[in-house]
Chains A and B, each alone.
Chain A
């Protein structure tokens, strides 16, 4: 499918990821007082064999959220944080962090949900301003699990009812700290055409 997207359209998706996540990361910086560096977004086909590396092993512990986006550009917005990065967020925003999975409680989960809520909300606002699209999201749901289980579940849900899956992925880091976050937007392929028409490409 990605091969069917011409270079201009791929660039447009990357640029949307960049602008959308730029406002999302600004919102996260406002919350935490920490500056985040954004990497250039990747646009790729999320095939059954491919997970972009979110951590060193498919069985390493990650936390993440997913939220359904409805409106003119339907899809799933997801955030994934390796456990060590989530610990950094918890320490900044909650003042403490669980030492392992057994200590993970509702408070810590809600911190990650809230971060996702604000970031995805800003991402969608950025997109709305650029495209005039009406976009709204469901509350993010939380998961903590091995990376492969979380990624594959996310992928299967987004894949449901369509044959191929496109991912717009952006990585954000804190250069001097142990922090890496991943944002994925998995649009419904059918809704892409409307986006391209709106952008006139």
Chain B
């Protein structure tokens, strides 16, 4: 995994779920109204690139990461947890912007994605350790499980680096 000192980033494309155990870097590129939803356990992280709050048919069976209502249970499952044991997790939410502004027929999908995810996490008593959501700009991010460092990129701005070890309530994983 480590190539010339740089860890490969596991990127979750639209509707996908990616999991890293132990060390690893998880990320999403170009989140507009989509929300990168990362659940963090001291020894693992699971990330879904959520596109819509809920499915209109059985599509969630095909691609659970695509919808908020199916992504959260799928992430728990990936981490080997049940709703009863989920409260030990911490969540990171990034995205949910309205890239096209002042739309008459706006569906407010970004906002509704974030609302739905926040409600689902609350029901499972998973606290949100960090969120950068809403607004009008798309975001890319990478989260390093080893260092608990989060880098967010927005077009036309220098990357923002956040150290989340404190917010995640635990020491970074010793490697």
Contact = CB atoms under 8 A, between A and B. Distances in A.
A interface SS class:
mixed
Interface stretch (A14-22, A37-45, A151-159): A151-159
B134 interface: no
A72 to B, nearest CB: 18
Interface in B77-106: 97-105
B136 to A, nearest CB: 8
Given A141-B100, A145-B32, A152-B34, A48 B51 contact: yes
A145 B118 CA distance: 26
A146 B97 CA distance: 12
Q: How large is the interface on A (under 10, 10 to 19, 20 to 34, 35 or more residues)?
A: 35 or more
Contacts of A101: 155-156
A102 B156 contact: yes
B153 A59 contact: yes
B30 A147 contact: yes
Contact of A145 (B13, B105, B137): B137
Contacts of A61: 155-156
A152 B36 CA distance: 13
Interface in A49-80: 49, 58-59, 61, 65-66, 68
A95 interface: no
